[in-house]
Amino acid sequence: MGQATLLLKSTVAICALASCFVPGLALAQAPSSADRATARTLAQEGYEALRDHDYAKALDRFTRANQLVRAPTLQRDLARAQVGLGHLVDAHETYSAILREGVSDEAPPPWLKAVEDAKTELAALSPRLPWIVITVAGPAHPRVTIDGAPIPESSLGVKRPADPGRHELRALAAGYYTAKKTIELQEGETVNIAFDLEDAPPDAAPKSEEEAGTVSVATVKDPAWRRPVTIGAFALGGAGIVVGSVTGILAMTKHDKLAKTCLERTCGPREEGTLTNYRRLGMVSTIGFVTGGVATAAGVVLLLVKPQILVEQSSPPKDRAARGNFFTWSPFVGVGSAGVEGTF
């Protein structure tokens, strides 16, 4: 009994230790039969897309298939789609992942072949990779982006792979003007890109990466017509509400009189004049309230909303002339509506 208990405890301990060293085996969930069937369908569509040189569709199909079932055959064909699209850096990493993960000697023959294909195709791809070396003179901690994506500061000054083609690079830092360069990379070449950032006045230099290349907002002086129009809008609004209230009370008085003399909602000839006055007063009351509400809303807009001008952050004068984007607005008032319209 004691030996059985000791054996059970030892087995549990060994399993727990194994799960620590192989967390994937302990936590990973095997794909279901439905997942495998879906992956086969995606793979078949991916093979057909590769055959037809539709690399974008092949990339989509093999990416999704790999998410369902991870297999070297799917990874290899994903890398081939990436190469077809010119995504050489991604393809290099996909091929490398196949070799890093490897397969056992007892793996299915297609898997073994996929690993051999990855080794051969990676060797052919590596010389095609372009490389860039980015250096920034001036600030101690510059920020650099490639096609809008930031790169780590630790990548500066050393070779970094990039896909062939056109790329836009920006370098910026607090207290310096932002610099931009556009390059055209060819396969297999190494390009050195040097930025020499210029000092900028405190009021012109971007304070952070978010402020560089953004627009600033400044409030401009009110136009001469703004104050009298605002007062007029509130006056018209008040008058409309007063008219609506007075005529509404008179209409209610007429309604009460008609309710006493008109039986079953039918009025005789003697009440025709009273009925006509009731309808007119009701219409005037409605127009008064609508006009008062619209005019008051316009007055509130004119009182609270200030005209603004949007000016884009400019680069040094010798690199790019300062230019601005202007936004203008004007209020509008119509029947049943009011607001502000703008142009830029």
> Domain 23-126 adopts which CATH fold?
1.25.40
Residue 79 makes CB contacts below 8 A (sequence gap 6+) with 91, 94, 95, 98, 118, 121
- The CATH class of 131-206 is mainly beta
Could you list the beta-strand ranges (E) of 88-199: 131-137, 143-146, 149-151, 159-161, 165-172, 179-185, 190-196
CA triple 315-208-170, angle to 5 deg = 50
Q: What does each of the 344 residues of the chain score in pLDDT, given as a tens digit?
A: 444 443 344 433 433 433 333 344 333 468 899 999 999 999 999 999 999 999 999 999 999 999 999 999 999 999 999 999 999 999 999 999 999 999 998 999 999 999 999 999 999 999 999 999 999 999 999 999 999 999 999 999 999 999 999 999 999 999 999 999 999 999 999 999 999 999 988 765 454 444 444 434 444 456 777 788 888 878 887 887 888 788 878 877 867 766 667 765 666 666 667 767 767 877 888 897 888 788 788 877 777 776 544 444 444 444 444 344 444 444 544 444 455 455 44
Q: Which two tokens stand for residue 128?
A: 């095609």
Q: How far is CA 167 from CA 148, 212, 320, in A?
A: 10, 19, 19
Taking alpha carbons only, the member of 153, 298, 146 closest to residue 226 is 298
Residue 52 makes CB contacts below 8 A (sequence gap 6+) with none
Q: In the chain, where does the domain assigned CATH 2.60.40.1120 lie?
A: 131-206
Q: In the chain, where does the domain assigned CATH 1.25.40 lie?
A: 23-126
The C-alpha atoms of residue 86 and residue 123 are separated, in whole angstroms, by 17
Residue with token string 């300062």:
322
Taking alpha carbons only, the member of 31, 60, 36, 316 closest to residue 196 is 316
Q: Residues for the chain: how many in total?
A: 344
The C-alpha atoms of residue 143 and residue 153 are separated, in whole angstroms, by 7
pTM: 0.53
- Rg, the chain, Cα only: 37
Beta partners for 320?
none
Helix or strand holding residue 330 (H, E): strand 328-334
Residue type, 24: G
